[in-house]
Structure 1
Amino acid sequence: MDNSSKKAGNNRKNIRIIKIDFLVYFTVFKKTSSAQFDVLVKELEKNPDLAKGAPMFGASKSLVELQWNELANKLNAHGPPQRTATEWKKIWADLKSRTKKKIAENASSMHATGGGPFRLSPLTDLEKAIDRILLVSKAATPSGTVLRQAQAIESLQDKFV
């Protein structure tokens, strides 16, 4: 045997076969219907304290849980997907978070300096309803000149939608 065949033989000894098992997980995504979103917003407009997550005067934790369970039953009556009260709370928290983020980005783009295009993310009807409940725009844009800028944003949003 020459040196090249010895090296090739040594290389074969150093090769290790590593077996990796891949587990495939399938997750089922529940897509909330527009009817459920409409009912969610309408019900939380009736009860803004529940929507804000603020403690209501004289309300116990069990009363708040009862209200969310009743709301979950109303939402589940409007078709699949069926969710628990905890899952509906998570849906609402995610909606609030995304809406607040979008409003904050719009407000910061109004105050931005420098070049580049003005970036406006128009609010959807659902997001506008959430803003009416939570009053996020008023918190993001206080009174004064900024208020006039916020009104200008709102008029621009109406033109885009």
Structure 2
Amino acid sequence: MCDKAKRSRASGEQLSAMLDFFISTPNLASGKFQKLHGKLENKKKWTEMAAKLNAIGGAVKTVEQWQNVWRDLKSRTSTHVRDLKKEQNMTGNRPLQQTALTNLEKKVIDLVGITYMEGESDVNENIPMQEDLQLFMEHDEDFQLVVDDDETPELPSLNLPEDESE
């Protein structure tokens, strides 16, 4: 027989209460510390939330286990959002096969933001500028680019010699 007790799953009521606690306690869901003793305050809030969630009935978990529940909930929601977006971007006029987002998932998105869920970044926006910069560097040995932190650099027009084979 196994010495380790089987962990029960968090109930829907507990998950909803967790999200409500996050909404009433800004920055706890993200783990960002805003004050001098923010890490200590964060730990106290997690302990407080774990006690409230355990008192609801259902799963009884440690703070670390509740943190894992939160991490897993974000991960599952993120996967669902990305799958929905991928399916919506497919060509053709086919009905969606994925289930719609639940109210719980919508609350998670409101807490962490849709960009986190979709996994988007601004990397693609820089590609054309990087290509232009590469061309300048290849054709102008004296070219220097000075960039201020708050500005997007403007590249002068590049007059490349036309291909004579045309």
TM-score of Structure 1 vs Structure 2, range by shorter chain = 0.5 to 0.7
User: Which one is further off, 92-101 or 45-54?
Assistant: 45-54
Distance in 1 separating the partners of 2:34 and 2:7 = 33
Question: Structure 1 residue 62: deviation in Å?
Answer: 1.9
Is 1:75 aligned to residue 53 of structure 2? yes
Name structure 1 gaps, 5 residues minimum: 1-22, 143-161
User: Which one is further off, 100-109 or 54-63?
Assistant: 54-63
Pair 76,26 (structure 1): closer, same or farther in 2 beyond 3 Å:
closer
User: Which residue in the other structure is 1:120 paired with?
Assistant: 98
User: Which residue in the other structure is 2:79 paired with?
Assistant: 101
Distance in 2 separating the partners of 1:46 and 1:123 = 23
Distance in 1 separating the partners of 2:12 and 2:95 = 33
Aligned partner of 2:39 among 27, 46, 61: 61
- Residue by residue, what CA displacement relative to the aligned partner does 1:80-113 show, whole Å, maximum 9, x if unpaired? 3211111100001100111111111111222233
Contact 2:50 2:66 in 1 (8 A): yes
Give the structure-2-normalised TM-score.
0.60
What one-letter code is carried by the residue in structure 2 that aligns with 1:44?
F
Distance in 2 separating the partners of 1:82 and 1:52 = 23
SS in 2 for 1:58: coil
Is 1:88 aligned to residue 66 of structure 2? yes
Query: What is the number of residues matched between the two proteins?
Result: 120
Map 1:19-34 onto structure 2 (within 5 A): 28-34=6-12
- The alignment yields a C-alpha RMSD, in angstroms, of 2.9
More helix by share: 1
Distance in 2 separating the partners of 1:64 and 1:101 = 27
Pair 123,32 (structure 1): closer, same or farther in 2 beyond 3 Å:
same
